[in-house]
A and B are shown apart, each in its own frame.
Chain A
Amino acid sequence: MEFDFTPVITYFPTLLKGVGVGSLVAVIVAFMSIVGGLLVAVISIYINKIVSWPLRFFIWLFMTTPLLLQLYFLYFGLGEWILIPAIFVGILGLGFHYMAYNADIFVATIKSVSNGQYEASRSLGFGHAATIFYIIVPQAFIRSIPQLGNNMILMVKDTSVLSAIGVAELVYASQYAISVSFRPFEFFIVIAAMYYLINIFMELGQVWLERETAYRR
């Protein structure tokens, strides 16, 4: 057995394009899952039971079933009514999946903000909604950063699963090159290395962000 990395070098631009698509998906999903997760958490805590029950069910359902099953469901389920590109299905699926995980974190951190904060804010003349958005949520958000960071690192790794429904990210981008060059080992080693590199940068970013926000907690 000998290794031949020349096809990897030849197809490197394709792989980089895959990294680009993957990063784009990851950024959109990160935004969607954090904002959506926060909304879901706030609604499920503060609004009445009729609204919050379906949302809790949603969190629970997305946390107890595997991502791939959810992706298949969305891909084939949505495909029945409208034809949308795989990348949107991927963003929706991954977004909902991590929205549920993030909502779970936000529920815990919002509840961890002391009740005295709410009372103090109300007695200073803030309304109910203003208290939630200016006093409670910012404090809860800062406290959520370490766990959000972990989730986002997991999420970036999970973008590789989107290749199963045909999103042209890194793994999918390599499929053609592998089938032409017959060098799966070399390609997957390089792909793994790329993911590892991205992961290291994200971990460094997480450490930096945690240090920057530590004094606010």
Chain B
Amino acid sequence: MDFNLMIEVTPLLVKAAWITIDISIRSLFFGFFIACGLVFLQSFQFAPIRWFARGYISVIRGTPYFVQLLLVFYGGPSIGLRLDPITCGVVVGAFNIAAYMSEAIRGSIESVDSGQVEASRSLGFGKVQTLVSIILPQSAALMIRSIGILAIVLIKNSSLVSIISVVELTYQAQRLIGSTYKPLEIFTLSAFMYVIIIYAVMGIIELAYRRAMRYTTL
């Protein structure tokens, strides 16, 4: 192990790790709203709207994220969609994770016993009120858990953005391996950084989960 080299390249990798974090947080943020929209579309009475949402989720989950990324980045310009690499990473990441996340959100909402809805409705709560003050608090804990798992998937997926030349952690690591010929040192450092990021996310999820557990009836 060449420790001098490791100390030397740490600032570069830390800087790149911030890009990874930045892309992941932004994708998660936008992805959450798209996912909520997809859940909402699936509750429509008008069937074609539901089919659209189901079809979107099925196609996104059925094709590789990598291909989606290449399609939007290289194929986008021919349909008039020009995005810079980072924006492309955020947008594709958000639309990709939204499909998985809408399933997670729907699952956690459906996990609440239907008796709760009936009880709440018969006590005079409106539909929206039932959703906001009865169902969501009870499904929050499960929702936080499953969104947390997806956040970790998102962080690991963000490494693929290096293919469209965003200088994030994996790209920087690959470039440093190429220039220093010290794969073990660079891999150890960059893997360590991914571990730190992922453990930080897991810690936050655990805290939020414990807080949300107060509202569950389980």
Which residues does A use to contact B, with CB under 8 Å?
1, 61, 64-69, 72-73, 76-77, 80, 157-158, 160-161, 163-164, 171, 178, 183-189, 191-192, 195-196, 199-200, 203
B15 CB, nearest partner CB in chain A, Å: 17
In the complex, the number of residue pairs spanning A and B with C-beta atoms less than 8 Å apart equals 114
B191 touches A65 (CB 8 A): yes
Tell which of B29-37, B45-53, B68-76 binds the partner: B68-76
B63 touches A199 (CB 8 A): yes
Task: Report B131-159 CB contacts with A as 1/0, cut-off 8 Å.
Answer: 00000000000000000000000011111
A149 CB, nearest partner CB in chain B, Å: 14
Task: Report B175-218 CB contacts with A as 1/0, cut-off 8 Å.
Answer: 00110010110010011001100100000000000000000000
B75 partner, pick from A65, A164, A188, beta carbons under 8 A? A188
B191 touches A195 (CB 8 A): no
In whole angstroms, how far apart are the Cα atoms of A200 and B62 in the complex?
7
A192 partner, pick from B67, B157, B178, B195, beta carbons under 8 A? B67
B79 touches A77 (CB 8 A): no
A67-B156, A160-B67, A178-B74 in contact; A77/B187 too (CB < 8 A)? Answer: yes
A93 CB, nearest partner CB in chain B, Å: 12
A68-B162, A185-B71, A185-B78 in contact; A195/B170 too (CB < 8 A)? Answer: no
For A64, list chain B residues within 8 Å (CB): 191, 194-195, 198
For A183, list chain B residues within 8 Å (CB): 78
A101 CB, nearest partner CB in chain B, Å: 12
In whole angstroms, how far apart are the Cα atoms of A186 and B75 in the complex?
7
B159 touches A77 (CB 8 A): no
Total interface residues in chain B, CB < 8 Å: 40
Residue in B closest to A182 when the chains form the complex, CB atoms: B78
Residue in A closest to B199 when the chains form the complex, CB atoms: A64
For A186, list chain B residues within 8 Å (CB): 75
A65 touches B71 (CB 8 A): no
Q: Is B173 an interface residue (CB 8 A)?
A: yes
B64 touches A195 (CB 8 A): yes
For A66, list chain B residues within 8 Å (CB): 155-160, 170, 194
B70 touches A188 (CB 8 A): yes
B183 touches A184 (CB 8 A): no
Q: Is B11 an interface residue (CB 8 A)?
A: no
Known: A68-B162, A72-B170, A192-B64. 18 other contacts (CB 8 A): A66-B155, A66-B157, A66-B194, A68-B159, A68-B160, A72-B173, A72-B174, A73-B187, A80-B183, A157-B65, A158-B64, A163-B66, A171-B70, A184-B75, A185-B76, A192-B59, A192-B67, A199-B61
B195 touches A195 (CB 8 A): no
In whole angstroms, how far apart are the Cα atoms of A76 and B155 in the complex?
23
A192 touches B190 (CB 8 A): no
- What are the 5 closest A-B residue pairs judged by CB atoms, nearest first? A185-B75, A66-B159, A188-B71, A184-B74, A77-B183
Q: Is B163 an interface residue (CB 8 A)?
A: yes
B180 CB, nearest partner CB in chain A, Å: 10
Residue in B closest to A159 when the chains form the complex, CB atoms: B64
Sample (27) of A-B pairs whose CB atoms are under 8 Å apart: A65-B190, A66-B155, A66-B158, A66-B159, A68-B162, A68-B170, A69-B169, A69-B187, A72-B174, A76-B183, A80-B181, A157-B64, A157-B66, A158-B66, A164-B163, A185-B76, A185-B78, A188-B70, A188-B71, A192-B59, A192-B64, A192-B68, A192-B71, A195-B62, A195-B63, A199-B61, A199-B63
For A69, list chain B residues within 8 Å (CB): 159, 169-170, 173, 187, 190-191, 194
B79 touches A185 (CB 8 A): yes
A72-B174, A195-B63 in contact; A189/B162 too (CB < 8 A)? Answer: no
A25 CB, nearest partner CB in chain B, Å: 14
A90 CB, nearest partner CB in chain B, Å: 13
